[in-house]
Every structure is written in structure tokens, then in C-alpha cells.
């Protein structure tokens, strides 16, 4: 499969994994390995002196690039500070900007997200913003210097799949930076659909970490992303209202 390229960096996997929701670091480790991911998100939180093991050790052992996020932030100011702390703690200038509007829907706040993205681009970050499925906002974020856009398929953790495939297609048409379908993925067919719609990658966590068998679902997602990418590159046949014979109609 062709490489995913974000901000000049190549990845041979088009599946970006999250680390949330796993019952243990061991289960997470197995799922990440099975998924074949090369880029994985972490959150930034207060250090717990009693915590045993670190998600960073798991990623380091598997040679997976860490993508810190600003999960838990409600304002641009909080997101900018979190990004700077992540850069200091992890030694990366990559940041997934995630600024949510309320805890019930966890939907991204477009105004705060744009503000944070602009400030972080100016501060030298490689910015990947989590956004609603809004083509206009995606284009404005690309113009602001973001290295990718990450529209949601559905609400975080909902497993509802891609609620508005048409908007995702419009985003793919609207921007030239990679479009990463983020949030809402419930099962493998959702991930394949994202790739068929033209997304450059899929980001998911809960669909794998909270599956009954995370290791199996991780393989399913890996293969779904690959199948969807190949189908996109192959070019699907047009949908027709009526049958079209594939065998000669003459005797």
C-alpha cells in the first residue's frame, strides 16, 4: 500500500490508534501490535505517583510515534498550554488539537479549535485539528497552516459510524492536506468506508480497546483500512439504477 505522508513524514500504516479505553497496558500493547499502527495518540494529565507502567513505555517498545492530544480542553488557551507541555514532556512538536464544547456530546468547538490551531502553527507546531464534518472549516484550517484535518464520523466513543459520508467526501475534495477520519468508528466496515470516501487515514481507539477481543478487532481494522484504500485507488464502478449484464445477452 502507498505511504501516508503527514508534514513530510511517511507512515506505512494508515491506521492511527488511540490509547484510551484499554483495560490494561498489556491489552493495549497487544492491540497496538496487531493493528500495525505507527502513530498513536496519548493524553496529557497530572502525574500520578502511584501509576504503574507508562503508556510511553509501550509506544517506545513498539517504535510507535507518539501524537499527544489536547483532550479535556474547553478553550484555545488551555489547548495551547497543553500542547506546549506535551512538547516539553515528549519532545515532539506534533499535536492533535482537540477542544470540546461540552461533556455530553464531546463535539469539537470550531471557534476555539481554529484559534488554538492558528496560535500553535505560529509557535512551530505540526497541527492536526479534530473537527466536525465541516468542509468550510477544514479549508480554513488548511489555509491556517494545519498539516492534516481530522473530521469526526460520529461522536467520540459512540460507534455510530460515519453519520454523514457526503460531508466527508466534500472535505476530501476541499483540502489537499491529509483527511483523517476521527471518532465514531464502530466496526471494520466503518473504517473501510472512510478510506473509500477518500480519507488518507483512520483514527480510532474505543472500537478496538473496548471490543470483546481487542487484538482481533485491531487486525480487522488494519485490513479494513487497507481494503478501503485499495478500493479507493482502484476506482469503484458507478452506481446504476438498473442491472447491467456482464455476460453477452445474445445466445
Partner 1 sequence: MIVMINGASHEVADGTTVAQAVRTLTTATTGVAVAVNDEVVTRSSWETTALSDRDRVEVLTAVQGG
Interface positions with partner 1 (CB under 8 A) = 18-22, 25, 28, 41-49, 51, 54-56, 66, 68-69, 71-72, 81, 84-90, 96, 98, 205
> Which of residues 24 and 246 has its CB atom nearest to partner 1 in the complex?
24
Q: Are 138 and 173 in contact (CB under 8 A)?
A: no
> Which of residues 73 and 170 has its CB atom nearest to partner 1 in the complex?
73
- Examine the residue annotation and report whether 96 is marked as an active-site residue of this protein: yes
Which among 101, 6, 95 is positioned nearest to 43, based on CA atoms? 95
> Which of residues 14 and 96 has its CB atom nearest to partner 1 in the complex?
96
Q: Which of 61, 65, 96, 222 is catalytic?
A: 96
Dihedral sign, CA of 44, 122, 96, 93? negative
- Shortest approach of partner 1 to residue 16 CB, angstroms? 10
* H or E element in which residue 204 lies: strand 201-204
Strand 65-68 to 15-17 pairing: unpaired
- Shortest approach of partner 1 to residue 242 CB, angstroms? 46
Q: What is the dihedral of CA 171, 179, 193, 63, to 10 degrees?
A: -170
> Which of residues 18 and 178 has its CB atom nearest to partner 1 in the complex?
18
Return d(Cα 221, Cα 190) in angstroms, integer.
Answer: 9
- Shortest approach of partner 1 to residue 236 CB, angstroms? 32
> Which of residues 157 and 198 has its CB atom nearest to partner 1 in the complex?
157
- Shortest approach of partner 1 to residue 47 CB, angstroms? 5
Which among 157, 162, 133 is positioned nearest to 208, based on CA atoms? 157
Q: Are 147 and 6 in contact (CB under 8 A)?
A: yes
Strand 4-6 to 9-11 pairing: antiparallel
- Shortest approach of partner 1 to residue 201 CB, angstroms? 15
**How open is the CA angle 124-170-199, to the nearest 5 degrees?**
60
Active-site annotation, residues: 96
Amino acid at each position: 500500500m502507498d505511504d501516508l505522508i503527514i508534514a513530510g513524514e511517511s507512515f506505512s500504516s494508515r491506521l492511527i490508534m488511540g490509547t484510551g479505553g484499554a483495560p490494561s497496558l498489556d491489552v493495549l500493547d497487544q492491540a497496538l501490535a496487531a493493528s500495525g499502527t505507527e502513530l498513536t495518540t496519548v493524553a496529557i494529565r497530572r502525574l500520578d505517583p502511584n501509576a504503574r507502567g507508562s503508556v510511553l513505555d509501550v509506544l517506545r517498545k513498539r517504535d510507535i510515534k507518539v501524537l499527544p492530544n489536547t483532550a479535556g480542553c474547553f478553550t484555545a488557551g488551555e489547548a495551547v498550554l497543553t500542547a506546549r507541555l506535551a512538547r516539553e514532556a515528549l519532545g515532539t512538536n506534533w499535536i492533535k488539537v482537540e477542544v470540546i464544547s461540552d461533556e455530553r456530546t464531546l463535539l469539537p468547538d470550531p471557534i476555539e479549535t481554529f484559534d488554538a490551531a492558528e496560535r500553535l502553527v505560529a509557535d512551530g507546531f505540526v497541527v492536526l485539528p479534530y473537527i466536525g464534518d465541516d468542509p468550510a472549516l477544514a479549508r480554513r484550517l488548511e489555509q491556517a497552516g494545519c498539516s492534516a484535518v481530522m473530521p469526526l464520523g460520529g461522536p467520540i466513543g459512540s460507534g455510530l459510524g460515519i453519520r454523514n459520508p457526503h460531508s466527508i467526501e466534500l472535505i476530501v475534495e476541499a483540502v489537499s492536506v491529509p483527511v483523517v477520519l476521527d471518532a465514531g468508528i464502530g466496526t471494520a466496515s466503518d473504517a473501510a468506508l472512510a478510506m473509500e470516501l477518500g480519507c488518507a487515514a483512520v483514527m480510532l481507539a474505543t472500537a478496538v480497546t473496548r471490543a470483546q477481543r481487542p487484538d482481533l478487532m485491531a487486525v480487522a481494522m488494519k485490513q479494513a483500512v487497507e481494503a478501503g484504500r485499495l478500493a479507493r485507488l482502484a476506482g469503484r464502478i458507478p452506481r446504476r439504477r438498473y442491472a447491467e449484464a456482464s455476460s453477452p445477452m445474445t445466445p
